[in-house]
Amino acid sequence: MTVTATSVDESDQLPPQNAPVSRAARLVRLVPALAAALSGVLLYVSFPPRTLWWLALPAFAVFGWVLRGRSWKAGLGLGYLFGLGFLLPLLVWTGVEVGPGPWIALAAIEAIFVALVGAGVAVVSRLPAWPVWAAGLWIAGEAARARAPFHGFPWGKIAFGQADGVFLPLAAVGGTPVLGFAVVLCGFGLYEAVRLAVRMRRTRALRRSAAAVALLSVAVPVAGAVAARPLVSDKAENGTATVAVVQGNVPRAGLDFNAQRRAVLDYHARETERLAAEVKAGKVAQPDFVLWPENSSDIDPFANADARAVIDAAAKAIGVPISVGGVVEKDGKLLNEQILWDPVKGPVDTYDKRQIQPFGEYLPLRSLVGAINENWTSMVRKDFSRGSEPGVFDLDGAKVGLVTCYEAAFDWAVRSEVTDGAQMISVPSNNATFDRSEMTYQQLAMSRVRAVEHSRTVTVPVTSGVSAIIMPDGTITQRTGMFVADSLVQKVPLRSTETPATRLGILPEIALVLVAAGGLGWAIGAGMRGRRATEA
């Protein structure tokens, strides 16, 4: 079968450009643009803290309806509107303390990737089995967003909105790319199934192969998720560990919490000492180790004796090692560091954050940013440096992989800890700068997906909430409130089995990018052959 640009159904084509256009017709022409933006908003609503994961399916179904049979230029514009509808509300937390400028700029830049995906989907929508190629293109767009610019920004991956969904077990099969591909394929397939059903009612004619592809696009992802259920388990393989997650709270929310650095350290030490008193009284089980959040000691304990004494006293009170989130300076480099603090030996191991946050922990294009707004440069006076090695702490025999805050969004950063021997994962974070926004819930959902992806217990110690303990099946067993001092103690399973997602690593993502490239190449080639035939 030869596919040409003229193979689109007549019902999908627009009227000739030279036809008289009434006011009503002009309004009708706005419908696709409005539908693209609103379907992007619908996709946003499917994300945490809401548990409406299934709304991603109609969101992509409407997006498929908007794009099918359009030119690549129309797809580019409609894709951009879809991206803005999705990313503007999703990322509103980035402007909580710095104003709307950076938030709008970030969403506008990230939406460019969605626009390019929209252009590609419009092109491949003329192909047989187009939902497959279109879903591959979406994952290719996510892969690009996770790598550029400034080392990428994967926030908003479709997989991160599926922590409560039926597709979640697919994370253990091929990580976030396979999970996201299944959701997008199901959404596009849903539209194609409805389109063909309507067409059959109108014409009583329908190709069996087209109907089969539409139905399989919906059925295969669901069947795959059901088949993957046995990969999801919370059984202990290497015994258990009793972990304590400490949330000390901060004096006040916002960027100026850093001005209260000593208070933040004291709060975490005080909550640890309170926990030690409860352990001594027999009210709480003795933990094997304690996990503090990122930035729990922004005073460098290696350079400040008072900070060292506070941490040392807390470790001695609880009587077990503590993983402390500190800001330290070594050899002129500023590092976001996790410090393993032994109650007897003091600091014995460290992990330096490798995926640091642009415009938060370092400032790209500093001179340009300063020319726009000097206040923004003052927020990041000195750039943090990157660590280079995975961080797996041996905490009383349990191997705990450290994934600091922003790193949880990056597939490679989490996977490297597991392949380096981690039997559980800790995601120490600091969300105090984002007040009571949805950011902490979005990040918590990421950790739930990572738990299933690698079949590991995940703990999330946060300065101001929400801190949580997550089982390897993605279930939250304990959580704190926001802006309260609290601690969570629980016996959790330790596991060493690697899921297919862990073993395969980046290969599923590469395969899906190749699917996208193959579909795009086929569509472009078919279009060129069609033009040559027309000219002949």
**The domain at 239-363+378-498 falls in which architecture?**
4-Layer Sandwich (3.60)
Q: Where in the chain is the domain with CATH 3.60.110.10?
A: 239-363+378-498
Banded pLDDT at 252 (limits 50, 70, 90): low
Burial per residue of 388-406, b for 16 or more beta-carbon CB atoms within 10 angstroms, e otherwise? eebbbbebeebbbbbbbbb
Q: Tens of pLDDT along 117-126? A: 999 999 999 9
Options 110, 142, 353, 407, the catalytic residue = 353
CA distance 100 to 91: 11
Asked if 515 and 133 count as a contact pair (C-beta separation under 8 A), the reply is: yes
Q: Please tell me the predicted confidence (pLDDT) of residue 16.
A: 52
Segment 32-48 shows an average pLDDT of: 97
Question: 160: Cβ–Cβ under 8 A, 6 or more apart, which residues?
Answer: 47, 176, 409, 442, 445, 446, 449
Options 110, 192, 399, 405, the catalytic residue = 405
Banded pLDDT at 6 (limits 50, 70, 90): very low
Residue 117 is which amino acid? V
CA distance 352 to 179: 30
Options 271, 294, 407, 417, the catalytic residue = 294
Banded pLDDT at 503 (limits 50, 70, 90): very high
Whether 280 sits among the annotated catalytic residues: the reply is: no
Whether 294 sits among the annotated catalytic residues: the reply is: yes
Q: Tens of pLDDT along 353-391? A: 999 998 888 888 777 777 776 666 766 778 899 999 999
Query: At residue 7, does pLDDT exceed 80?
Result: no
Residue written as token pair 């700029």 = 105
Q: Please tell me the predicted confidence (pLDDT) of residue 154.
A: 96
Q: Tens of pLDDT along 235-246? A: 999 999 999 999
Q: Tens of pLDDT along 142-156? A: 999 999 999 999 999
Banded pLDDT at 8 (limits 50, 70, 90): very low
Residue written as token pair 């995601």 = 427
Question: In 3-state terms, what secondary structure has residue 345?
Answer: coil
Residue written as token pair 């597709």 = 167
Alpha-carbon torsion, ordered 295, 299, 301, 306, to 10 deg = -130
CA distance 32 to 28: 8
Whether 73 sits among the annotated catalytic residues: the reply is: no
Q: How far is CA 324 from CA 265, 336, 462, in A?
A: 10, 11, 12
Question: 403: Cβ–Cβ under 8 A, 6 or more apart, which residues?
Answer: 413, 414, 417, 425, 426, 427, 450
CA distance 427 to 423: 14
Q: Is 282 left (phi over 0), alpha (psi -120 to 50) or beta?
A: left
- Higher-confidence residue: 314 or 200? 314
